Every structure is written in structure tokens, then in C-alpha cells.
Amino acid sequence: MWHYLMGLVGLWTLLRLIRERQVVSHLQDKHVFITGCDSGFGNLLARKLDRRGMKVLAACLTEKGAEELRNNTSKRLETVILDVTKTESIVAATQWVKERVGNRGLWGLVNNAGISIPSTLNAFLKKEDFAKILDVNLLGVIEVTLNMMSLVRKAKGRVVNVSSILGRLCLFGGGYCISKYGVEAFSDSIRRELSYFGVKVAIIEPGFFQTAISSSDRHLSHNKMLWDQASSEVKEIYDEKFLSSYETRIKLLDKLSSKDLSLVTDCMEHALTSRHPRIRYSAGWDAKLFYIPVSYLPTRLADVILFWTSTKPENTL
């Protein structure tokens, strides 16, 4: 009996590998628009797809980032300045893309732009601190997608949204985890809607990686600033021991973070070039072997596993 079961599992695995290795034809004729290409995942993906011969349309926040990217890629790659928090910037970028893709439409849309600061204890934050992250990580993704949707439909192409394992498990306060939960929900909704038009939507769920937006030094510096600005009432409730425990957790996550960004961009590339992309991609061994399995556990058990190092106030059970 076990031999038959193992044989079926082996056959299923082999068929899946063969299926996922099938590549879309005429990649050199396809345009891919990527947000957040100044650094990190977006920058690396733009360079990888350019080397592969695809027509990359890279959106950067700054002219400096755009210039550096152009200097490290072929003449095929084109850049545009985009602020995903501003409607007029998104509309202008959409028109710029239309002029380049013409009647072929846009094969790939990669919503990669994101920020992570401020992320700290919720008591230190105000509504506008949450809104700052949501404007980029969630509302920016939504508005860019809505503007580019007709171009992707025309090409029967792909939408690739960068979420996070923090879209499954909330490990700290602030708008970052909230925004990634929202990206997961939005991705599911447009995946079902756009499937009628032959468009495929993939979600990338990276674990912890060392990028510009995840720098622990920046997080800790900003955390200290928020602590200094906090009211005396907040400081009395959340004493420095509580804050120290939180900062210890941030430092630990940074030490465990991977430097190999290609683990994420390989998933993005597969989602754009495979004939049979996955719906969700987990990137990084911490995501595959720890965070995603923990996300399926009962909530109370997951809380114990994730926050066993936390210091609790004395009056908390």
C-alpha cells in the first residue's frame, strides 16, 4: 500500500516539475512593468528580465535610482519616475506604458514598491503613521493595478503582487502587516475576476530578507525617535523593558534575514515566464519551513511560538 502511495506522490511531483518548467513563447516581444526599481527586489528583477531579453519598463521613485539602473542594463530597458501615492503620477506612467506597448498590451505588471517604516508598537503611532504605509503598500498597489488592468487584459498577461509572510502572520504593530493582509485579499479578488479574461495573478510571500526597507538600524532609530516623542502616559505603561524586548526581536529577525534576494526574484520571474505559474510563491527557507506552517496552527499556539521571547507587563496573564 505504501509503495503505491509513494509512487503516486513521486509521479505527481514529477508531473508538476515538468508542467512548471514549460515557458511562455516569444518572451523577447513581451513588456513587463515593475514598480519600486530603485533598489531591492524590483531592481534585481528588472536586471534579470533585461538579461533574458524581455522589454522591461522600470518605475523608480527617484531619478538617481533610474539613472543607476539604466547604467547597469541594456538599451531595451526604459525607466519612468513613479510615486504610487499620487494619482497624477500613476496616470502619467500608465499613458507612458500605453505608448510603448501599443496594441500588444502589457504582459506583466509587478507591484513591488513598498515601505515598512513606521513599524513599531501601536501605542506609539497615530492614524497618519498607518496611512503612510497603506498609501504605498496597499492603495498604491490597487490604483496602479486598476489603471494598468486594461493593458494586462489585452495581452492576457500576468499580475504579480509582492505580499509577505507578514500578510499571514502579524509580528509587530503599524501599517505594514495590515497592508500585506490587504494585498493578499486584493490579489485574490482580482485573480478570480481576471481569470475570465485569461489573466493570471500570482502572490509572492517572502520571508525576511535584507533590503533597504527592512534595515534594522533604520527601524531601531525610528523606534527610538517615536519613544522619545511618546507621551508620559504611554511611557509609563510601555516601560523601557517592554521596548527593549521589542527591539531585541527586531535585531533577531535581522540576523536571521537572508541576503540572497534572488530567492524572491526567481519566484517573480517564474510567475511572469512560466506557462503555468503558481497562485502563491513562498520565498526563503524561513517562510517555507517556519512562518507559513505556523500560520496554519491554532491562533493561541501560534502566539506562544512567535512571542515566547516577549516581555509581558506584570499584570498580564
C-alpha cell at 246: 521589542
Max Cα distance, the chain (Å)? 67
Residue 80 lies in a domain: yes
For 159-185, what is each residue's pLDDT tens digit? 999 999 999 999 888 899 999 999 999
Residue 200 lies in a domain: yes
Helix (H, G, I), strand (E, B) or coil at 258: strand
Q: What pLDDT score was predicted for residue 235?
A: 67
Cβ-proximal residues to 217 (8 Å cutoff; 6+ apart), any chain = none
C-alpha cell at 9: 506522490
Residue 250 lies in a domain: no
Q: Please tell me the pTM assigned to this model.
A: 0.88
Percent of the chain residues topping a pLDDT of 90: 64
Q: Do 201 and 194 form a contact (C-beta atoms < 8 A)? A: yes
For 16-44, what is each residue's pLDDT tens digit? 677 767 778 889 999 999 999 999 999 99
- Is 291 part of the annotated catalytic residue set? no
Q: Do 172 and 129 form a contact (C-beta atoms < 8 A)? A: no
Residue 93 lies in a domain: yes
From 33, 155, 45, select the one nearest 102 (Cα to Cα).
155
**77 pLDDT band (50/70/90 cuts)?**
very high
| Residues 145, 68: Cα–Cα separation, whole Å | 26
Residue 105 lies in a domain: yes
Active-site residue, from 176, 181, 281, 291: 176
The number of domains in the chain is 1
CATH of the domain at 142: 3.40.50.720
Residue 7 lies in a domain: no
Residue 71 lies in a domain: yes
Question: Any idea what DSSP says for residue 55?
Answer: E
Residue 305 lies in a domain: no
Q: What pLDDT score was predicted for residue 25?
A: 82
Q: What pLDDT score was predicted for residue 276?
A: 92
**Containing structural domain, residue 31:** 26-211+259-299
Q: What pLDDT score was predicted for residue 314?
A: 43
